[in-house]
Structure 1
């Protein structure tokens, strides 16, 4: 009988004076997994550390659990959300390490960095991470060399901006909205600047240190630029509804790094599927748990070109009077 237990605890409570036990959901079905590198009862203990709540990261979490369930292994999953608080990430990661979990699943770069800082022994599988090497999580993409591997959400930045050029040929200046505190954003900002320069379009950075600065920075941006590019940045993504509303009021289109940002009001994106990224990460975790692979030798996985999809927001296009037919060309 498969034992699937998912407990939920408040990350903020963990970071405070004590650790508060959360709610548990128990389900069972399927056959028992063979003994591997997990606990003596053949039920693997998995700690899941998610940086914050927003649809892309939630989808990655969902995909990971779906892969575990499809594998038939027996496991317990301790679900924790750090509410975009780095100190909470570190506290949760330290707890997972202290609990002696068999594997840690880290969703987003800061979560994976916290997990890697807490343990060099427990296998860590990350997702929603743009560049594992740039973030200090791996020595190389094809052979990580440490206890961390996973799936990358590296956006097709050049292709996204090429689409922008087709849809919005009159754009002369693009504002790049990003968090200065996120290593994954720096990679994408540089890629965006390089591509915009190649296209003959000027760019300007609009960096924020926290979500509290989003409103004022966006209000400044829409007064200067013809369009805004929002990469797959956790701080920006979690505030995307606010970003989109300010941009719409100013009649400035927002080109997005991923699908959930479009759903929140952005104009369009060529997007990875975060649920599929999570699923791929789950398959990697199963290989590690069952002794079929080691994180140090398991290459970082990316979405293939044919797995990307164009997504757009018709309501936003209508409000901006933008013709999206070029997306299908």
Structure 2
């Protein structure tokens, strides 16, 4: 009998020890799950200007909503493309898990720097022409992202509605930005097809903008500037020149209208940033870049800067106003 009691006590002790051990292991598993690895993302923009800043902030905000444990290493080339290779080298050296470059030159530098770290770009208007992929549907160079291809024809159709008397357009842009060159080529085709005359002037530094814009503005009826990072970063200088010449400037980004451009059919860059973050999150969780098609923003807004319209003496009929998505006062 005593032996039976001793055996029962030993069995109970063993069961209790196993139960406590199980609790300990369960706690360890929960702790390891809560201490999920923090992923590092290199977030790089070419320059400070409203469109790029809007994208940058939107990406970070969307990642907070997604709840993925990430740390952003933010870099800014301050408009100096020559610094981009060293910036990318510093990120690869830091062992980032992903690079999110904002704008075409930044994405090109990231692609040149690594073929191992996933790259998800934001705001590249012409990914194929920029050499980032040979296919939008099946990216083949470790690079995908969200394009901000602009509806050039729609912008010029809007111009024909708002300023029908324009005979000659002036194209003003940085010829070193492939995104700008591609957009201007589309603008030239539209003008050629519609018997509209055009002239152009290009800049290579922001210091060139005032003189080059002044020369062109005095020789045309209206200007067109695509999503050009260099010009966008110096909009006050640009618009001061064109206003003195009494020439409206059609642009390709909503922020450029807010900064003094006359009108656009443009992109909402907050939505673009959200789209980039959602794509990047999927790739961080294991989705292959080659199976992640490059997306293009298709939600455009017709925007007119009414302050510029008043300043330039451009009358916009009420029936035309009714069809504008956004009016900037």
TM bucket, shorter chain: 0.7 to 0.9
Matches within 5 A, 1:241-320: 241-291=236-286, 293-304=287-298, 307-320=299-312
1:185 equivalent in structure 2: 180
* 1:132-189 Cα deviation digits (max 9, x unpaired): 1100011111111121110111111100000001111111100000101111111101
1:67 equivalent in structure 2: 62
Secondary structure of the structure 1 residue equivalent to 2:123: strand
1:164 equivalent among 159, 162, 182 = 159
* Aligned: 1:107 with 2:108: no
Structure 1 residue ranges, 4+ long, deviating more than 6 angstroms after superposition: 31-35
2:316 equivalent among 302, 321, 324 = 324
Partner Cα distance (1:242, 1:125) in 2: 32
Which protein is richer in helix relative to its size?
2
* Aligned: 1:221 with 2:216: yes
Secondary structure of the structure 2 residue equivalent to 1:275: helix
* 1:33-87 Cα deviation digits (max 9, x unpaired): 979xxxx952111011110000000011111112211111101001111101112
> How far apart are 1:301 and its partner, in Å?
0.8
Q: Is the 8 A contact 1:270 1:310 kept in 2?
A: yes
2:22 equivalent in structure 1: none
> How far apart are 1:32 and its partner, in Å?
10
If the length of structure 2 is used for normalisation, what is the TM-score?
0.85
1:93 equivalent among 71, 88, 93 = 88
1:139 equivalent among 134, 156, 159 = 134
CA RMSD of aligned residues (A): 1.8
Partner Cα distance (2:33, 2:97) in 1: 15
Partner Cα distance (1:217, 1:34) in 2: 59
Would the alpha carbon gap of residues 276 and 144 (structure 1) be closer, same or farther in structure 2, given more than 3 Å must change?
A: same
* 1:207-256 Cα deviation digits (max 9, x unpaired): 11111111111110111000000110101111111111111111101011
Partner Cα distance (1:211, 1:141) in 2: 32
Partner Cα distance (2:321, 2:92) in 1: 47
Would the alpha carbon gap of residues 69 and 186 (structure 1) be closer, same or farther in structure 2, given more than 3 Å must change?
A: same
Number of equivalenced pairs: 292
Q: Is the 8 A contact 2:200 2:216 kept in 1?
A: no
If the length of structure 1 is used for normalisation, what is the TM-score?
0.85
Would the alpha carbon gap of residues 160 and 59 (structure 1) be closer, same or farther in structure 2, given more than 3 Å must change?
A: same
2:228 equivalent in structure 1: 233
Partner Cα distance (1:167, 1:237) in 2: 22
2:17 equivalent in structure 1: none
* 1:86-117 Cα deviation digits (max 9, x unpaired): 12211111111111110001001111111111
2:202 equivalent in structure 1: 207
* Aligned: 1:84 with 2:76: no
Partner Cα distance (2:242, 2:118) in 1: 42
